[in-house]
Amino acid sequence: MKTIEIKGHLRGTLGSKTAKELRREGHVPCVVYGGGENVHFHADERELNKLVYTPDVFLITIKLGDKAVKAVLREAQYHPVSDKTLHMDFIEVVPGKTVALKLPVDLTGNSVGVKNGGVLRRNAKTLYVRGLVETLPDTIAIDITKMKIGSTIKVGDLSIPGVEMLEASNRVVVAIKTSRKAVSETEAEDAEEAAAEGAEGEDAAEEPAEG
């Protein structure tokens, strides 16, 4: 998992009034859970944007004076109009203790179904999982190369060592849907065979007759 360091400042006073003041100053109120006592702090919005505007998941070192807390981002809340970050929740990473977080879904390969005119439907950009930070992958990698038209991959079809899926097993992650221009795999195979037979016929016609 990628790492990043954020400089934070402990909050002396809690409440919505001080939270609004912090936001006006360009800082975001935050809290770290999971390590015993909750730790309330604030950090520069520009620094925190490194965690927000990216698909990557980071192991974060939050520097709070002479103390450092290792954590992962659990959730960020945004303003419904301006989309500015209003609040961020972190989960402290404790050695030997699992954490729950969202990992990005990374599709690899070129689907057979898409090559034949099907349409790729990506229903989940992230998946909620649980595991040890030391063993969690950076992404949930799914190879779609063999997916044909009509194929789906659901959460229950995924098996990744050290990763416990926290989503419904019947949730569709990716599917290949048919379209008007879609060519079935059978038709594609028949066309390939016909082309191969035609080529063989041409080769035979070009062979000189035995005299």
167 in a domain, yes or no?
yes
Quick one: 117 and 174 in the same domain? yes
Question: For the residues 8-33, what does the mean pLDDT come to?
Answer: 91
Predicted local distance difference test score (pLDDT) of residue 211: 44
Quick one: 129 and 168 in the same domain? yes
More confident residue, 6 or 189: 6
Query: Is pLDDT at 31 greater than 50 in this prediction?
Result: yes
Question: For the residues 123-128, what does the mean pLDDT come to?
Answer: 94
Quick one: 89 and 6 in the same domain? yes
Structural domain range at position 124 = 102-186
CATH of residue 171: 2.170.120.20
Quick one: 116 and 166 in the same domain? yes
32 in a domain, yes or no?
yes
More confident residue, 39 or 200: 39
Backbone angle region of 6, left / alpha / beta, with phi > 0 → left and psi within -120 to 50 → alpha: beta
Q: Which residues contact 75 (CB under 8 A, 6 or more apart)?
A: 88, 89
Query: Is pLDDT at 138 greater than 50 in this prediction?
Result: yes
The average confidence (pLDDT) of the chain is: 86
User: Token match 């990744």: residue?
Assistant: 160
CATH of residue 13: 2.40.240.10
Quick one: 78 and 54 in the same domain? yes
197 in a domain, yes or no?
no
Predicted local distance difference test score (pLDDT) of residue 34: 81
Q: Where residue 28 falls among pLDDT bands split at 50, 70, 90?
A: very high
Q: Where residue 180 falls among pLDDT bands split at 50, 70, 90?
A: confident
122 in a domain, yes or no?
yes
195 in a domain, yes or no?
no
CB atoms within 10 A of CB 60: 23
Characterize the bridge pairing of strands 27-33 and 39-44.
antiparallel
Quick one: 79 and 142 in the same domain? no
pTM, rounded to two decimals: 0.74
Length of the chain: 211
Q: Where residue 182 falls among pLDDT bands split at 50, 70, 90?
A: low
More confident residue, 29 or 82: 29
**CA distances (Å), origin 167, targets 74, 136, 164, 189:** 16, 16, 9, 37
Angstrom distance (rounded) from CA 125 to CA 117: 23
Percent of the chain with pLDDT over 90: 60
